[in-house]
Structure formats: structure tokens, C-alpha cells
Amino acid sequence: MPPGEKNTLKRLFLSNCNLAGKHNVVDRISNILIEGEFIKSIGKEKHVADKYIDCSGYIVIPGMIDPHVHMRDLNQSNKEDWTSGSRAALKGGITTVLDMPNTNPPTTSLRNLKIKLDCASKSFVNYGFFLGVNLSNLADINVILESEYNHLIAGLKVFMGGSTGTSGKDLVSGADDLKKVFVLAEKYSKPVVVHCELQSELELWHEKEFDRKMKNHHLLRHRDCAIKGTDRAVKMALETGVKLYVAHVSTGEELDIIRRGKKEGKIFCEVTPHHLLLNLDSLDLNSNFGKVNPPIREESDCVALWEGISDGTIDAVGSDHAPHIEAEKCREYDYAPSGISGLDTALALLMNEVIKNRITMDRFLDLCSNNAASIFEITNRGQIKPGYFADLVIIDPSKESVLSAGEFESKAKFSPFDGHKLSGQIISVIINGEIGYSKGKFYNIKGKEINCG
């Protein structure tokens, strides 16, 4: 600052924060000084500020970066809009969301991206987007990535098989076609994010003589669909050297493929809280609330996913927030859309596992914020570090609660996790240096566009 000039930036001082886990700090119990949007310093010193928060007894972590969100809005604002969805994120400790392209209209052209961007400007949390790639819009993707909007794009999303919100022309599943997408991603140094259930396998299993009921969802979308798709995507990443992010891994076999492929340093993967924490034994198979693609599978898959968490094969947790209208979910199996409402719960569900000592604080921080920031090259977010955006979540680890879907901020107020007991409670959330949510109250703040790469 030039001499004589007054510092007009607002200062927020958090005292006695428990910075559990690795933050490269000298002391676990530290004070954090925030100046404007950024973390200014971390340490034992006290500072004069405009506002003070006493964090004694509280854990302070970076806001979650959720790399897998279907925020809807546009022509599906009855399912969710950026106001309701981003409030759910904020209250749930998610300060950055990466939005998926299978909206109506889809994020497949510059025109549609601009329409979405306009909608997202009401977001309470920070945001970026994935572009939907198919064989008919490769030129549109070039146009977007050559434009001033490049920095908003976290990666290119490919559906190898049909799911809720996709149509046949959106799919890319043959190896030669997939290669075209990977080559395009390479040109702009963007990762490819893949929904790996393979269309040809889905069709094969769809023909089998299983009763068309929720209890058979995991057979109608058999594990082979995901395994064969992941195998193809990993091979393509290894052949082209392009960064691959496998969304929502649901089987142990996929993890084995990813684990082997990871040695090259280009392959990353995600787990959702529902694939990690629910299985066919714990799920209510009489309800479509747990109908999701890929399906929730065997307990042995959960065990394999937990191994993937502890040995570092799994890089990130994504909520795969996919809200639908309750009446739609209550239709017969065949007519009910797939998807689970996850923004309100993702961080709390994982935090609960940390408090139960099932996962270390270090791994939790990697999975929920650090790794997503580095995979998608999001500038200055995902860590508690001087110079980084002050996106912080203040948690009381001693509080217990029961998850109540009826109280979600999301419009989709139902969940297969309804009634789950949780340890740890989010008290306040700071976003870009301002208090966005505290003790049940929302403050009128706006999220920002992220900067990728």
C-alpha cells in the first residue's frame, strides 16, 4: 500500500480456530485474519478487525469444493434453481460448485453457456461449469474455449451411456469417438470428466428378464456397464495422456482399473457419499429415493471404496446433487428419474465419518477441497493459506443431530439418508471473506466465478 493511503478493506478476525489436519501451520490452534476476500495471516498474533468470531472449541476447514452438481434451473427450475441450490450448498459448507451440463437447455454451446451464466449470477456460492461434449458440438466447444469464458470451464463432461437428462445424441461411447473428445480436451488443457456406464452394456442388461423394480436397479444397470466404461476411459487417458476424472465410482473393479492406471499421474476419480455409505442392505428398496445412476451396490463395494479412500486411489468426494420433484420419484420404478439430493448433506456426512475416526482429517481435507482445486486447477481456493480466498467452514464437533430431509434448503426435500444420526455441526460459513451463513441465518452475499487454469 502506498504510504499515507488508508486500508479500506474489511477485516474479519477468527480466534482460536482448531486447524485440524495439514495446513502447513505452526500451531494447530491459530487465529486467522481475513482482509477483504482473502486470508491475510494465520498465527498466534491478535489483530484489530471490523468483526470478530471466537472459534474456541470449533474446527475450521476450507469450504468444500463440490465437483459434481446438477443445479438445474433454466427450464427445470421447479426441480432446483441457483438460489435454492446454492443456499443448500452454503448451509452445507460447500463454497464452490462445479455445475454439470445436462440441463435444459444443456451447456453445449456458447449461447447456452451465456444463458446459464446469467442464471448462476444469483448464486450464494462460487461456481464454474462443465461443458457437455458430443460428436455434434466439437466446434462449439472450440468456440467456448477460445473465448473470454475459458476460465469458467472446469472440464469437458462425457456421458458414455444414457442417464436422466441425456438423450441418445449426447452420448459418446465408442473408442474412436471418445478419442476426438480427449484430443480436444488436450488442445485446451482441460480434464475430461466421464460418466462411465457404457451404453452398449446398458442396452444388453436392459433386455434381461429382471422385474422392472427398484430392487433390481443395480442389475438393470449392471456393474459390468460401469466397469467396462471405466476400463475404456482409462485406456483412452493412458493412450492420449489427457487428464481423466472418473465420476462417481461405484464398484471395486473400477477402483482396481483406476489404481493401476494412476501410476501415470493423469487419472483421478470421485466417490459420492451415497455410494460410499449406502448399500443394497441398508437402502430402502421399496422407494425410488435411492434410485441413482450408477446404482448403489453391494456392501463389498463399499468396503472397496473405503480402501480406495485410505490408500489414496479416490481423489475427491462429489455430492452428485441431482434434485427431482418428489412426485416424480414416487412414480413406478420405470418412470421415476434417477438422482439424489446431496448439497445439504455431503460435507456433514463425511465430517461425521471423521469424527467417528473412520477417515483421517488429512484425507477428508484432500477429498473435500484440496484435490478438487488442484485437479480442476481452481486458482487460490481449497486450502487455508495466506493469499487464498477466505472460504471457510466453522464446525462444532461436539454437536449431534439427526438428518432431516424436510429441512433441506434444496427444493428436493427427500433423501435416502433421512433420519441418519450425525456428529458434528456446521455453525458458520465464510465465503470470499464474508459471513454467508451463521447459526441458521443467511446473509446477503454473492458467490464469484471461479478461475480455472
CA-closest candidate to residue 154, choices 190, 185, 100: 190
Residue 272 to residues 138, 175, 239, 329, 368, Cα–Cα distance (Å): 29, 26, 27, 20, 11
Q: List the alpha helices (DSSP H) in 321-381.
A: 326-329, 346-355, 361-365, 371-375
292 is an interface residue for ligand DOR by CB under 6 A? yes
Query: Binding string to Zn ion for residues 304 to 343, with x set by CB under 5 A, is what?
Result: ----------------x-----------------------
Contact (CB, 8 A) for 43 and 26: yes
320 is catalytic: yes
Closer by beta carbon to Zn ion, 323 or else 433:
323
Q: What is the DSSP letter of 231?
A: H
Q: What is the DSSP letter of 378?
A: B
CA-closest candidate to residue 27, choices 40, 18, 35: 18
Query: Binding string to ligand DOR for residues 315 to 344, with x set by CB under 6 A, is what?
Result: -------x--------------xxx-----
Q: What is the DSSP letter of 282?
A: T
Q: Residue 67's binding partner, choosing from Zn ion, ligand DOR, none, with beta-carbon cut-off 5 to 8 A by kind? A: none
Candidates 82-90, 159-167, 303-311, 398-406 — which segment interacts with ligand DOR by CB under 6 A? 159-167
Q: Considering the complex, what minimum distance in angstroms separates the CB of residue 416 from ligand DOR?
A: 12
- What is the C-alpha separation between 34 and 263, in angstroms, rounded? 39
Q: Considering the complex, what minimum distance in angstroms separates the CB of residue 281 from ligand DOR?
A: 20
Q: Considering the complex, what minimum distance in angstroms separates the CB of residue 411 from ligand DOR?
A: 13
Contact (CB, 8 A) for 316 and 272: no
Closer by beta carbon to Zn ion, 320 or else 366:
320
- What is the C-alpha separation between 164 and 410, in angstroms, rounded? 19
Q: Residue 428's binding partner, choosing from Zn ion, ligand DOR, none, with beta-carbon cut-off 5 to 8 A by kind? A: none
Q: Residue 338's binding partner, choosing from Zn ion, ligand DOR, none, with beta-carbon cut-off 5 to 8 A by kind? A: ligand DOR
Of 293, 341, 415, 432, the one binding ligand DOR (CB under 6 A) is 293
CA-closest candidate to residue 196, choices 248, 145, 263, 144: 248
Write out the residues near ligand DOR by the rule CB under 6 A.
70, 102, 163-165, 195, 292-293, 322, 337-339
Active site residues: 320
Write out the residues near Zn ion by the rule CB under 5 A.
320
